[in-house]
């Protein structure tokens, strides 16, 4: 069976890691191009794993939900409407599914679980600005940790964060403000603690 892609007839020739418009890739996926779905998966997997693990700290559960999300996307690709961008859609969908799972199984993140994050789920500890900052972020309440990660480590805008987290823009900014205040407060305590060691 020959595939004809009206927007990207040469999509098969795109190399892994090459930047292509999300809209172009999504359009190609909607037309049945499995390589386009693979490209979406490859370019978003680490982000989904990191954010998902902050919601449910069980690696296998997060990986299963990511797989389920992409199976759902493939099966429903012709009816799915992505209103903002692909990353926002993926994160919002995964987050909602993991929260439902956590509510059913009562495995919602707690501070004791967050201290045991497997190293392979964090792309690079230095992305957090060092071990001290990682500890400070990991000790925030779950929603504050999530909003800091989305804003500062994934560079999402306020409106995108609000959509991903299913909150209003005003609530997103208030939550971000509280998280930053807590980080500053805890950083001050860490500084004082380090002086006396």
Q: pLDDT for 174-187, tens place per residue?
A: 999 999 888 888 87
Q: Which residues of 100-118 are buried (b: 16+ CB within 10 A; e: fewer)?
A: ebbeeeebebeeeebeebe
Region at 20 (left for phi over 0; alpha for psi -120 to 50; beta for the rest)? beta
pLDDT band at 110; cut points 50, 70, 90: very low
Please check whether residues 35 and 105 belong to one and the same domain. Answer: yes
Task: Phi first, then psi: give them for residue 115, nearest 5 degrees.
Answer: -80, -5
Please check whether residues 163 and 130 belong to one and the same domain. Answer: yes
Please check whether residues 134 and 152 belong to one and the same domain. Answer: yes
Measure the CA–CA gap between 132 and 129, rounded to whole angstroms.
Answer: 8
- Asked if 94 and 51 touch (Cβ cutoff 8 Å), the reply is yes
Please check whether residues 87 and 150 belong to one and the same domain. Answer: no
User: Is residue 120 scored above 60 in pLDDT?
Assistant: no
pLDDT band at 124; cut points 50, 70, 90: very low
Q: Give the residue from 15, 87, 100 showing the smallest Cα distance to 46.
A: 87
Q: What's the number of domains the chain is made of?
A: 2
User: Could you give the percent of the chain with pLDDT greater than 90?
Assistant: 48
Q: Report the length, in residues, of the chain.
A: 197
Please check whether residues 104 and 137 belong to one and the same domain. Answer: no
Q: What pLDDT digit, counting tens, does each position of 35-86 carry?
A: 999 999 999 999 999 999 888 889 999 999 999 999 999 999 999 988 778 9
Is 13 contained in some domain? no
- Asked if 115 and 123 touch (Cβ cutoff 8 Å), the reply is no
Q: What pLDDT digit, counting tens, does each position of 2-26 carry?
A: 333 333 434 554 445 445 688 899 9
- Asked if 55 and 92 touch (Cβ cutoff 8 Å), the reply is no
The CATH number that applies at residue 134 is: 1.10.10.10
Please check whether residues 178 and 89 belong to one and the same domain. Answer: no
Q: What is the 3-state secondary structure (H, E, C) of 35-78?
A: HHHHHHHHHHHHHHHHHHHHHCCCHHHHHHHHHHHHHHHHHCCC
* The pLDDT value given to residue 20: 64
User: Is residue 1 scored above 50 in pLDDT?
Assistant: no
Measure the CA–CA gap between 39 and 24, rounded to whole angstroms.
Answer: 11
Q: What does R_g of the chain's alpha carbons equal in angstroms?
A: 19
Is 62 contained in some domain? yes
* The pLDDT value given to residue 184: 85
H/E element, 15: none
Measure the CA–CA gap between 179 and 140, rounded to whole angstroms.
Answer: 7
Range of the domain at 162: 124-197
Is 52 contained in some domain? yes
pLDDT band at 28; cut points 50, 70, 90: very high
* The pLDDT value given to residue 194: 45
Is 3 contained in some domain? no
Is 100 contained in some domain? yes
């Amino acid at each position: 069976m020959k595939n004809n892609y009206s927007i990207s007839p040469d999509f098969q020739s795109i190399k892994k890691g090459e930047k292509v418009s999300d809209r172009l890739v999504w359009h190609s996926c909607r037309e049945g191009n499995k390589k386009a779905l693979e490209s979406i998966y490859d370019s978003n997997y680490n982000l989904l794993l990191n954010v998902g693990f902050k919601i449910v700290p069980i690696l296998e559960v997060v990986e299963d939900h990511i797989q389920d999300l992409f199976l759902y996307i493939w099966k429903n690709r012709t009816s799915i409407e992505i209103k903002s961008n692909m990353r926002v859609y993926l994160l919002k969908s995964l987050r909602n599914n993991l929260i439902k799972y956590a509510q059913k199984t009562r495995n919602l993140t707690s501070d004791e679980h967050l201290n045991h994050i497997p190293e392979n789920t964090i792309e690079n500890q230095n992305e957090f600005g060092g071990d001290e900052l990682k500890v400070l972020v990991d000790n925030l309440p779950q929603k504050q940790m999530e909003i800091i990660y989305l804003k500062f480590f994934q560079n999402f805008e306020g409106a995108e964060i609000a959509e991903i987290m299913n909150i209003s823009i005003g609530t997103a900014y208030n939550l971000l403000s509280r998280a930053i205040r807590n980080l500053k407060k805890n950083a001050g305590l860490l500084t004082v603690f380090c002086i006396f060691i």
